[in-house]
Amino acid sequence: MYSRGGQIRGCFNNINTDMDIKDILKNESSKYNKIQARIRGFTQIPNWFIDSKEYTIYEKMVFIIIRRHQINKETCWPSVATIAKKARCGKTTANKAIKGLIGKDKVEKIDDKKVRSNVYKTKI
């Protein structure tokens, strides 16, 4: 293994040794923070959403559950049964809440043939 022009050759081909240590630490910190958000168990929900009278308590709970499953991801795919269980309501009520959130443009339901369950994306 030898170094030439800021790259190490040998078993680790094309590794850039000129990368700034600050960039490396920033990337690792970002990964660490995403992992810690899942471990610590916090889901951020805007105060205006919680305080709003526009949404029912079930819509709020279902939104929080969907948002929780979406942490650090573009989309999530919890089943209606999972949403209902975690929101402490029945499947019918969970479905009504999901339809209400979709109608109020706070949740998008994506038709994805790769996933057997429904795919959701929050819009707040």
In whole angstroms, give the CA distance from residue 20 to residue 79: 43
In whole angstroms, give the CA distance from residue 47 to residue 12: 48
Please report, in tens digits, the pLDDT of each residue of the chain (124 residues total).
444 455 444 444 444 555 566 665 566 666 666 666 556 667 889 999 999 999 999 999 999 999 999 988 889 999 999 999 999 999 999 999 999 999 999 999 988 777 777 899 999 8
Domain ranges of the chain: 12-40, 47-122
* CATH code of domain 47-122: 1.10.10.10
